[in-house]
Every structure is written in C-alpha cells, then in structure tokens.
Amino acid sequence: MKLKNNAWLDAIALIFSVVVIGLSVKWLVSSGLLEFRPAEGTNVVWYLVRSTGIVAYLLLLASMVWGLFITSKFARNWSPGVVSLTMHSTVSYLAIVISVIHAGLLLFDDYLTYTLRELMVPFTGPYQPFWVGMGIIAFWLMVLVSVTFPIRKLMGYRRWLWLHYASYAAYGMVAGHAVFAGTDGTNTGFRLLSVGGIAVIIMLVGARSEERENRAKSVEMAAG
C-alpha cells in the first residue's frame, strides 16, 4: 500500500524517535550513569572532548546516510516527507552543535592550550595542524550547508544542491581528521565504522547515480 505524502517514512521516523526516547530513559535509569563519579584526578574535559568528537562524527555520517536514503531509488516513490526531512536537518544541526562543544572544550583542556582563533582558523593550532585544520574546514562547510536548509527556495534549488554536495567533502575531511588526529582514530572498531560508513555512502551515491542515468535515458527515449 502506498500512502500519500511519504507517510511510511514519516511513520518510521516517528516510531524510531519514540523508541529512542523510551530506550534512552530506560538506559539512563538502569545504567547508573547519573550516579557515576569519575576517579579522582581524571581529566573529565579530555574524555568529553573525545566523546563529543566521536558523536559528532557519527551524527554527520547518519545525516549523510539518511539524506541519501530518502532521496535514493530505495525511496523512489516517496518524496522526502516533513518528519524524515526534519530528521535529516536536525541530525545535521546536532552534528554542528556537538562539534562546537568538541572544539570549545579544548579551550578548557590543560594539556593542549588552544586559543579561540586557533580553533576557528585552519592550520594554526599547536597539534597536528594539517588534520586539525581539515576538521575546522569541514566544520565551516557543514555550517554553510546547514544554514542553507531553510533558505533553499530563496537560493534556487540547483544552486543549493551544488552547495549541498560540499557535505561529501566535509565528510571526507572529518574522517581524515578523526583517523589521523583523533586519539580514538587508531581504535580498530572506530576504523571499521569509518570504512563501513564510507562504503554505505558510496553504495547509496552509486544507486542514486544509476537512477539518474536511467531517468535521463527514459527521457531521451521518450523524446525520440
């Protein structure tokens, strides 16, 4: 049964959201996180820098995969619905917010002393300037792509789409930043996740390209 206005995707996104809220509350209550006290002398800021970095990376990956999914041939008959598009944009905004926290926490870290300028201008920091610089450029690209969400009609769809393609470059830079400048970049699980994420993105981009080629051929054939 095909429902109008992308109701299936909306329903999936809504059920997913309710399940996430429920599981979050259950986990919070049962995990003991609220009672957790770090060992004396633990540099909590440093661990938060690492976890925000990982979460921001996963959010960017999720945003790209979901964005590609809702516009690919897997969802051919569904134009992006209100909820599924909200999910895509919200995940992108959250990736930016958590990236800001990731960078901002470095101002309070006592090991590497970053200045605000070094966090905002690429290639000027004291640690791994190239790969950290890649992360900073990726962040500004993400901001550029995300702030144009609400004004895409004003910009013109084609112009907005070209700008939106910058998110692929941002993802590549973030992956490089995470693997080569991140403490957890050497973690096998994190590397497998990165490779898996890139594989899924390539697969979805390939599916979308094939769909566009087929559509172009159909148009040519119809034209004569």
Partner 1 sequence: MNNGHRSRKLVVRSALAASSTIAVLAGAQALMMQDAPTNTADAESLGQTSTQDLGVSAPSTTTIRSSDGSSTSRFTPSQTFPQRSRSSR
CB within 8 Å of 208: residues ≥ 6 apart: 68, 71, 72, 73
Tell me the HSE value of 146 on the side-chain side, using a 13 A CA sphere: 22
Q: Is 39 in the site for partner 1 (CB under 8 A)?
A: yes
86 versus 124: smaller Cβ distance to partner 1 = 86
3-state secondary structure of 39: coil
Question: Using the rule CB under 8 A, is 146 a contact of partner 1?
Answer: no
Tell which one of 1, 2, 4, 33 touches partner 1 (CB under 8 A). Answer: 33
> Residues 6 or more apart from 28 whose CB is under 8 A from it?
34
The distance of closest approach from Cβ of residue 196 to partner 1 in the complex, given in angstroms and rounded to an integer, is: 18
- Is 48 a binder of partner 1 (CB under 8 A)? yes
- Nearer to partner 1 by C-beta: 31 or 209? 31
Which are the contacts of 135, defined by CB distance < 8 A and separation ≥ 6? Answer: 173, 174, 177, 178, 181
3-state secondary structure 194-208: HHHHHHHHHHHHHHH
Token output for 129: 């300037």
Pairwise CA distance, residues 136 & 210, whole Å: 33
Report the alpha-carbon distance of residue 196 to residue 182 in Å, rounded: 18
Provide the CA 57 distance to its chain's centre, in angstroms. 6
CB of 221 to partner 1, least distance (A): 39
- Rounded to a whole number of angstroms, the minimum distance from the CB of residue 73 to partner 1 is 24
55 is a site residue for partner 1 (CB under 8 A): yes
Q: Give the burial class of 23: count Cβ atoms within 10 A of its Cβ; 0-12 exposed, 13-18 middle, 19 or more buried.
A: exposed
Number of residues binding to partner 1, judged by CB under 8 A: 47
Confirm or reject binding of residue 50 to partner 1 (CB under 8 A): yes
CB 48, min distance to partner 1, A = 5
Chosen residue from 61, 98, 179, 201 binding partner 1 by CB under 8 A: 98
CB of 151 to partner 1, least distance (A): 17
CB of 152 to partner 1, least distance (A): 17
> Which of the stretches 90-98, 141-149, 152-160, 198-206 binds partner 1 when contact is defined by CB under 8 A?
90-98
Q: Strand, coil or helix: what is 152?
A: helix
Which chain residues interact with partner 1 by CB under 8 A? 10, 13-14, 16-18, 20-21, 24, 27-28, 31, 33, 36, 38-39, 41-44, 46-48, 50-52, 54-55, 58-59, 82-83, 86-87, 90-91, 94, 98, 101, 111-112, 127-128, 181-184
